[in-house]
Structures are given as C-alpha cells and as structure tokens.
Amino acid sequence: MHAELSADGAEVVAEAATGNEAIAAAAQHQPDVVVLNATLPDRPVAEVCDVLASRLPQSAIIVVGHDQAAVDAAVAAGAEVHRLNDAAELDLGALVRRVAAHDPQVQNEEPRLTRQEVNVLRLAAEGLTNPEIGSRLYLSRHTVKEYLSHAMRKLDAANRIDAVRKATALGLIAGVPSPAREQVAETLVYNESDSPARSSDLKVPPLKLDQLERRPE
C-alpha cells in the first residue's frame, strides 16, 4: 500500500500494524484520509473507526477487505467509503484522491452518520448554535463545526438546514420520523346535498358565506 500510494503521488505520513497504532498515528499526524484493513490483529475495525470518527471528524476513513460483516460495521461506525477488494482490482491511489477531494460519487449508496454526527445534527435541528451544541455535548465550537461539515459532506447537503432535512428524510436521525412515515392529514369534504359525494366535488371546509358574521375585534 505504501509503495502504491507513494508512486501515485500521495504523501504517506504514517503506517500502523494494529488498530491502536493507527489511532495513535492518526492523532499525531491528523491525516486527510485513513486507510484501514477490514481485519485488524488487536481489535475490531469498527471500534477503530468509531474512535477515529469521534476524535478526528475531519479525517475520512476508507476500509478495504473481504469481511463483509466487518466492513458493514465499520461503515456504521464512521467509515465513509469501503471497498471489498481483490487487491489487484483496487486502484487505491485513485480512491484516496477522490475521497480527499470529497467526491460524492465514492460515498456509500446510503449515507451513514456516526453517533456524534447524529447528536450534533439533532441539536442543530432544535435551533442551537455551534457554541450551544458544544456546551451540550462538551465539545469545542471548532469540533462541532467539523462534525457538521462531515455530516453535510456525507449527505451532500448545501448547509446545516439541508443536512437536517436530508438526514430526517432518510431516517438517519434516530427518533425523528421521515416524511414518508408521517401520517397524511384527512381531508374533509363538504357536500351540501344528501347524495354521495363525487370525486369531482370541490373539497372545501364546511362553511357558507351567509353564515359568517362580523365580530368586534
């Protein structure tokens, strides 16, 4: 991987043999992109992704490997993209460049938000400012901004309002129903005659103009 990425023009700032080493190296160098194997010797890759997503929300995470369950868990924990690879078929350099450039076409089909991104978006939906969100979640204003930016990028949203709307519509914000699940309001049909209403009847509230009266304000 190091040789391939270096030959492709990427700057490899650190290498790690375990998940714990990857966390330490990422904290020290704060890279734009972290590439992880789906199978790590010391801990599940999903745990590593969860830690990295919480501490370094500005760093995109790529997970490669054959273990579908591990990859799915990693995506749920914060990995932005994943590839089940046959090694030779994976153009890792091109993938890293596209992820670093925030290319939305390399995102997973269904965006996945980390727990902290969900928390930040939920509070943003309540109208809280970044400092207020930070105070509620014990985060700095800068970190809150990073979480919002990360969520907006995953959702391909123009701003925080758009991100909240898209996350809600996709059902990604836990406890907030998507519009598809909301109940449709019943329509009251006013039919002056006793005959059954036809589909062409005008649907209006049951009011008559001659029944209205002026009341003092």
- pLDDT score at 104: 58
| pLDDT tens figures, 70-109 | 877 887 777 776 665 554 556 778 888 888 877 655 555 4
The answer to whether residues 50 and 20 touch, using CB atoms and an 8 Å cutoff, is: no
Interatomic CA distance for residues 153 and 86, integer angstroms:
28
- pLDDT score at 21: 96
HEC profile for the chain? CHHHHHHCCCCCCCCCCCHHHHHHHHHHHCCCEEEEECCCCCCCHHHHHHHHHHHCCCCEEEEECCCHHHHHHHHHHCCCEEECCCCCCCCHHHHHHHHHCCCHHHCCCCCCCCHHHHHHHHHHHCCCCHHHHHHHHCCCHHHHHHHHHHHHHHHCCCCHHHHHHHHHHCCCCCCCCCHHHCCCCCCCCCCCCCCCCCCCCCCCCCCCHHHCCCCCC
Interatomic CA distance for residues 204 and 174, integer angstroms:
37
Portion of the chain with pLDDT greater than 90, in percent? 25
- pLDDT score at 108: 53
- pLDDT score at 68: 75
The answer to whether residues 153 and 102 touch, using CB atoms and an 8 Å cutoff, is: yes
CATH class of segment(s) 115-181: mainly alpha
| Bridge partner residues of 62 (DSSP) | 35, 81
| pLDDT tens figures, 10-30 | 889 999 999 999 999 999 999
Burial of 61 (0-12, 13-18, 19+ CB in 10 A): buried
Query: What interhelical angle do 141-155 and 160-169 show, nearest 10?
Result: 50
- pLDDT score at 82: 65
Superfamily of chain region 2-106 = Response regulator (3.40.50.2300)
Neighbours of 161 (CB within 10 A): 11
List C-alpha distances in Å: 214 to 173, 198, 209, 217. 47, 33, 11, 9
Domain-by-domain residue ranges, the chain?
2-106, 115-181
| Mean pLDDT, range 178-186, rounded to an integer | 40
Interatomic CA distance for residues 32 and 26, integer angstroms:
9
pTM recorded for the entire structure: 0.52
- pLDDT score at 131: 93
| Mean pLDDT, range 196-200, rounded to an integer | 49
| pLDDT tens figures, 105-155 | 555 545 567 778 888 999 999 899 999 999 999 889 898 998 898 888 888
